[in-house]
Amino acid sequence: MTAVDGLGYLAAALVLATFCAKSMVPLRALAIASNIAFVTYGFFDGLWPILLLHSVMLPMNTMRLREAVRSQNQAVLRPPPSLRPTSAAGKQHSSQMGHAARLEPV
């Protein structure tokens, strides 16, 4: 087995690992790693369809990883529902009253 063959097997193993991922961020990170491995494999072995396919998929996976990380970070920064500002019916919202919102348990 040559080093290029080994790279092909590594790329295939990374694709298999994406199917084992249970959340989106690890899945996309593994997909990006497999795309890089397949692009390299396709280049060194002259497999142009594989090179082209994974060259197209790499920026898509990168974009989706950024979206997933952003979404995950927003979920971490968002306060739990029990501590979110509330405004009861008939009361002015805090932005209309000119002072900070009162935190009420739900």
Residue 72 belongs to a domain: yes
Q: Please state the domain count of the chain.
A: 1
Query: SS3 for 36-50, per residue?
Result: HHHHHHHHHHCCHHH
Residue 70 belongs to a domain: yes
Residue 85 belongs to a domain: no
Residue 9 contacts residue 17 (beta carbons within 8 Å): no
CA distance 94 to 85: 8
Residue 31 belongs to a domain: yes
Q: pLDDT tens, 88-100?
A: 654 555 555 555 5
Closest listed residue to residue 7, CA positions, set 28, 35, 31: 35
Residue 96 belongs to a domain: no
94 Cβ contact list (under 8 Å, min separation 6): 85, 87, 100, 101, 102
In terms of residue numbers, what domain contains 75?
3-80
Residue 93 belongs to a domain: no
Residue 44 belongs to a domain: yes
Q: pLDDT tens, 15-40?
A: 999 999 999 999 999 999 999 999 99
Report the predicted TM-score, pTM, of the whole model to 2 decimal places. Answer: 0.70
